[in-house]
Amino acid sequence: MPDRLHFRLKLRRGPLFTLEAQESLPMQGVTAIVGPSGSGKTSLLRALAGLDMGVAGERRITFCNKEWDGPGGHVPAHERRIGFVFQDPHLFPHLSVAGNIGYGAKRCEVTSFDAIVEALELGPLLDRGIDGLSGGEARRVALARALASNPAVLFLDEPMTGLDSQRKSEFLPYIARAVSQARVPALYVSHSSDEVVTLADRVLELGQGHVTGWRTPPMRLTAHVVAETGPGVEVRLDGAEDDGPGASIALPLRALPGEAVGIGLPVESVHFSVHHPGAGSAIMVLPVTVTRPAGAEGQAVLDVLGQSVRVPGVMRVPSARTLWMSVLRVLPRPMVVDSTK
């Protein structure tokens, strides 16, 4: 079982808002924290980080069996080994890109500077000043600086704020790569679950200062537009057979034939069977292979027509087993994760 971050908090922010939340988060992979504006996402992250200690209230926080806040005392924020990436990159204007990344590294023993620079493709920028970096480059530098501080956990608070959708979809794979290569767990705050769907292993929802539940991230697949249909487009998964229960889905989206579209299928609409389900109510039936069975965290990895897809651990079946995946219905409709439009 992975280590966990346990917390129980009751903190008053202003006259009208109280963060009252209790949860236990696995410290493995990416945990997205989503919720509407003002629901307390940033307040939660700051409380867990040990910032805002002036706010009166109750705090019990244990990170990987180490008490951060509680009867045993208080670990100051700078000793929690949190790599923080904020909405604003907050880079040091007097330092080069390399200097910014190395700033965190100076305070800790770090051997992975080169690996971080490589994972985030920052090599060509190292000698530059930070003036003139694009929004996406600045975010990569901020992420690299956080990783170089050798963190035990990353806290990402809407790090893509202000980036356009093209830059967002470019930045996401960098986060995914950095998190998996550095093997550091991450809490990722976002307004939009679409934004983190490619990253998150699990999604915690907040509403009005309370945890309202856990949501399973949709299964993400890439498809290509095959036709415009008037109200939208028809998309098809690459490699799907032309006949049989279609591998195509109608999407309410403006896009041109040939364009790639990322779609998220709600897991409630996806079923698996050992035998072909035959013609029925499925709008899509596809053969899939189990690449990695569900582990402790309940995520299995499947090969779906050459795409690697993570799904909750419904299948405790051996590797290499072939199954049939039926998309029975799509609730409320396939979520458009990203597109070039």
Ligand X SMILES: Nc1ncnc2c1ncn2[C@@H]1O[C@H](COP(=O)(O)OP(=O)(O)OP(=O)(O)O)[C@@H](O)[C@H]1O
- Report the interface residues with ligand X, using CB under 6 A: 13-14, 17, 35, 37-43, 191
Residue nearest to ligand X (CB): 14
- Least CB distance to ligand X at residue 114 (A): 35
Which of 101, 188 has the CB closer to ligand X? 188
- Least CB distance to ligand X at residue 205 (A): 11
Which of 42, 150 has the CB closer to ligand X? 42
- Least CB distance to ligand X at residue 286 (A): 37
Which of 13, 202 has the CB closer to ligand X? 13
Q: Which two tokens stand for residue 39?
A: 């629901």
Which residue in 163, 284, 209 sits closest to 17, CA to CA?
Answer: 209
For residues 223 and 209, give the distance between their C-alpha atoms in angstroms, rounded to a whole number. 37
For residues 18 and 15, give the distance between their C-alpha atoms in angstroms, rounded to a whole number. 9
- Least CB distance to ligand X at residue 49 (A): 12
Which of 17, 103 has the CB closer to ligand X? 17
Contacts of 14 (CB under 8 A, 6+ apart): none
Contact assessment for residue 232 and residue 222, using Cβ atoms and an 8 Å cutoff: no
Burial degree of 140 (CB within 10 A; 0-12, 13-18, 19+): buried
Which of 37, 111 has the CB closer to ligand X? 37
Contacts of 38 (CB under 8 A, 6+ apart): 17, 208
Which of 28, 43 has the CB closer to ligand X? 43
- Least CB distance to ligand X at residue 44 (A): 7
- Least CB distance to ligand X at residue 163 (A): 16
Which of 161, 181 has the CB closer to ligand X? 161
For residues 82 and 322, give the distance between their C-alpha atoms in angstroms, rounded to a whole number. 41
Which of 13, 80 has the CB closer to ligand X? 13
Q: Which two tokens stand for residue 129?
A: 């000043």
Contacts of 253 (CB under 8 A, 6+ apart): 232, 233, 261, 336, 339, 341
Burial degree of 168 (CB within 10 A; 0-12, 13-18, 19+): buried
Indicate the Cα dihedral angle 214, 216, 217, 221, nearest 10°. -170
Contact assessment for residue 111 and residue 142, using Cβ atoms and an 8 Å cutoff: no
- Least CB distance to ligand X at residue 43 (A): 3
Indicate the Cα dihedral angle 51, 53, 57, 58, nearest 10°. 70
- Least CB distance to ligand X at residue 223 (A): 30
